Structure 1
Amino acid sequence: MRNLNVLLFLFISISSYAQQNIDDLLAAGINDAQRFASDYLRPASEGMMYSINQGWFNDAKAKKLFGFEISLVANASFVGDDNKSFILDTSQYENLQFRDGSIEKEVATAFGDIDGIMVVVEGESTVPIIPAQDAEFELPTGLGGSNINFVPSAFLQASFGFLKGTEIKARFFPKVNTNDTEVGFYGLGLQHEFTSWLPADKVFPVAISGLIAYTHLDGSYDFTDTNIVDGENQRFENNTNTYLFQVIGSTKLPVFNVYGGIGYLTGTSTTDLLGTYRVRSGIVSEEQITDPFSIESRVSGIRGTLGAKLTLAFFRMNLDYTLAEYGGLSFALNFGF
């Protein structure tokens, strides 16, 4: 349960950092707010897509007919230094400017730790008798100050052999609601062992199989009651879908085995800022904004995994590392027959 709480804490923390500056960022206009939020949240969205796709396999040998395994899997995808900051180029923004007149500066992402970056937006007023109000504020920092540089995930996974050389897999993270936050996901996979069709399968020293898996995650964070910005039904909503294609190889020894694989991950994560917002300064002063923007992150790339598995009767444990844009560790406790 601790890992489940870590996932919820991460989602709450990232959303909190982002929403604390909603009023300020919207003062620069919807386009500027959307551009900044896209760069700021990108490592969190991408890291999560890599994290929830770890731990799909610990063996290339498919389970026998009606064989099953229940696993408790914990993952962590690591965020490198190159994803903890980005260059904010004000020439690409419509209204956002650095207070000191700089054109470019390195600023924090959701996993960064750069504070004290001040920006300004010159105000406009559509009512002559109401003076324009400039907006001056500090850009949000990230989780780097809390020494959090990974994206965790944890779930239950079940595998079942239902055809020769073929097993179906399902994973599940129950949707938990706490502190106005909901996060949950599920996944389905199909693994087939190619070597099960060889005439000398039982004496062949390794097993080779292929895996196709789909994972869906959705989460929401309602911050209407925080009074950050006047308005109603204010929330973040995230919808993530990924696909994994993997070739797996493993040894076939009774107790200790090694396994590995080469795979390709592709996915899309969409985060929507929804609700109504009444901003009192900057370029949209005195305007009411509804469902301001949606941002999208995409991942696609090759990944390689290497791990080891220990089998003691019906109990097994495995540990592996995946090399990818967001490399990560996966550990699992497995029970089955």
Structure 2
Amino acid sequence: MKKLVFMWAIASFSIVSAQNSIGDLFASGVADAERFATSYFAPATEATIYSMSNGWYNTADAKPLGGFEISIVGNITGFKNKTDKKAFTLNTADYENLQFADGSTSKLVSTALGDIEGVTVFVEDESGVIIHSFDLPSGLAGEDLNFIPTGYIQASVGLIKGLEVKARFLPKIDTEDVKLGLFGAGLQYDFTKLLPADKILPVAISAVIGYTNLNGEYDFTDSGFIQGDNQRIDANFKTWNFSAVVSTRKIPVINFYGGLGYVTGTSETDFLGTYEANGPFFTTTVTDPFSIKNNASGVTANVGTKIKLGFFRLNVDYNISEFNTLTAGMHFGFR
């Protein structure tokens, strides 16, 4: 369960097994460990940015004053056919001390989304004696998982004519090894509410802006991969979603919606704590060795449908972007 929780936070439960190999990479020096971790985690953090940016709307028809809706929203972001995101080329010429055991100088290795296994590397000292040999980590696909899940609770309230405010959060998770929290806020403005014919128009047109912040921390001090204290990974994601939305509005039970938007986000993953190792390239204690920063942005488009049965509603939509996402929601509300 702890592995699955932190997968949600930084897009891969393979990070837990990856700690072994990334810890091993410290034998090759901090610079090599940082270079590998940057390439390994980049596609997973990008997919998480796209995934957690979804779910801000299920109609363009803003709620009237006092109307509200409480929602449980879940996203499944797939990458099964994203071969370019599941591997990267590791060229030993770019690394200070790392070498492939089979004598290769360049080959494809797995990212946190990939499934390449059995790639053995080693580090040798200046006299040519191998001091450390280990396998590079695989990724989510190696565990037969080709998706990243995200989810949260969301609330929407109608204010003045055409304006709706939104908030989302994830109940805080705080265990011995894992800490996780999410919050966000958004606005939706229904431009058709300005028109005299608002009540008879068959469609609504809105603009939506949403901000989401995710913090996750995983403590692996007791994992025994490398000696040290307070060893942990601290991940922070910040995303923005800007969308134009259109929907039907006069059908009693089922309505349809679609949106065109732009997503942008950043992630920062800090390797914190103290790390101790013996070897020619890492002989002293290192504190807070490095931080990985990534960003992603791109155009998105989605289509969906919403079913309304009194106070209870359901919606589902499919979002097309750099990483496609299926979103589903269960809602309770009054308007």
1:122 and 2:124 are equivalent in the alignment: yes
Cα pair 1:17 1:142 within 8 Å, conserved: no
Q: 1:200 & 1:42 partners in 2: Cα distance?
A: 49
Q: SS in structure 2 opposite 1:262? A: strand
Aligned partner (choices 112, 115, 123) of residue 114 of structure 2: 112
Aligned partner (choices 283, 307, 312) of residue 310 of structure 1: 307
1:51 and 2:51 are equivalent in the alignment: yes
Q: 2:332 & 2:24 partners in 1: Cα distance?
A: 51
Query: Which TM-score applies when normalising by structure 1?
Result: 0.93
Cα drift, residue 82 of structure 1: 2.4
Aligned partner (choices 253, 257, 270) of residue 268 of structure 2: 270
Residue deviations 1:130-186, cap 9 Å, x none? x97622221111222221111111211000001110000001101212350112211
Residue deviations 1:215-260, cap 9 Å, x none? 0000001111112111111000001111111110101122111101
Aligned partner (choices 164, 169, 174) of residue 161 of structure 2: 164
Q: 1:175 & 1:91 partners in 2: Cα distance?
A: 44
Change over 3 Å in CA distance of 1:33–1:159 after alignment to 2: same
Aligned partner (choices 151, 163, 177) of residue 174 of structure 2: 177
Q: 1:280 & 1:13 partners in 2: Cα distance?
A: 28
Cα drift, residue 123 of structure 1: 2.4
Cα pair 2:22 2:37 within 8 Å, conserved: no
Instruction: Give the letter aligned to residue 211 of structure 2.
Output: Y
- The residue that corresponds to 1:19 in the other structure is 19
Change over 3 Å in CA distance of 1:206–1:118 after alignment to 2: same
Q: 2:328 & 2:316 partners in 1: Cα distance?
A: 5
Cα pair 1:69 1:158 within 8 Å, conserved: yes
- Summarize the alignment of residues 314-329 of structure 1 with structure 2, pairs less than 5 Å apart: 314-329=311-326
Cα drift, residue 101 of structure 1: 2.2
Q: SS in structure 2 opposite 1:279? A: coil
- The residue that corresponds to 2:70 in the other structure is 70
Change over 3 Å in CA distance of 1:197–1:309 after alignment to 2: same
Instruction: Give the letter aligned to residue 281 of structure 2.
Output: I
- The residue that corresponds to 1:243 in the other structure is 240
Cα pair 1:76 1:329 within 8 Å, conserved: yes
Range with greater deviation from structure 2 (324-333 or 47-56): 47-56
Aligned partner (choices 82, 90, 94) of residue 96 of structure 2: 94
Q: 1:208 & 1:219 partners in 2: Cα distance?
A: 36
Cα drift, residue 198 of structure 1: 1.1
- What's the Cα RMSD here? 2.0
- Summarize the alignment of residues 290-301 of structure 1 with structure 2, pairs less than 5 Å apart: 290-301=287-298
Aligned partner (choices 195, 200, 203) of residue 203 of structure 1: 200
Cα drift, residue 23 of structure 1: 2.7
Cα pair 1:238 1:272 within 8 Å, conserved: yes
Structure 1, unaligned runs of 5 or more: 126-130
Cα pair 1:27 1:135 within 8 Å, conserved: yes
Cα drift, residue 9 of structure 1: 5.3
Identity of aligned residues (%): 48
Cα pair 1:175 1:184 within 8 Å, conserved: yes
Range with greater deviation from structure 2 (320-329 or 101-110): 101-110
Q: 2:277 & 2:126 partners in 1: Cα distance?
A: 12
Residue deviations 1:52-106, cap 9 Å, x none? 1111100001000010000111111112232111111222222222122212111
Aligned partner (choices 143, 148, 152) of residue 151 of structure 1: 148
Q: 1:133 & 1:213 partners in 2: Cα distance?
A: 52
Cα drift, residue 316 of structure 1: 0.8
Change over 3 Å in CA distance of 1:5–1:191 after alignment to 2: farther
Cα pair 1:211 1:247 within 8 Å, conserved: yes
Range with greater deviation from structure 2 (269-278 or 132-141): 132-141
Q: 2:167 & 2:141 partners in 1: Cα distance?
A: 33
- Summarize the alignment of residues 252-291 of structure 1 with structure 2, pairs less than 5 Å apart: 252=249, 253-284=251-282, 286-291=283-288
Residue deviations 1:299-334, cap 9 Å, x none? 010000110111111111000000011101011011
Q: 2:271 & 2:4 partners in 1: Cα distance?
A: 23
Cα pair 1:72 1:154 within 8 Å, conserved: yes
Query: Which TM-score applies when normalising by structure 2?
Result: 0.93
Aligned length: 329
Q: 2:59 & 2:221 partners in 1: Cα distance?
A: 47
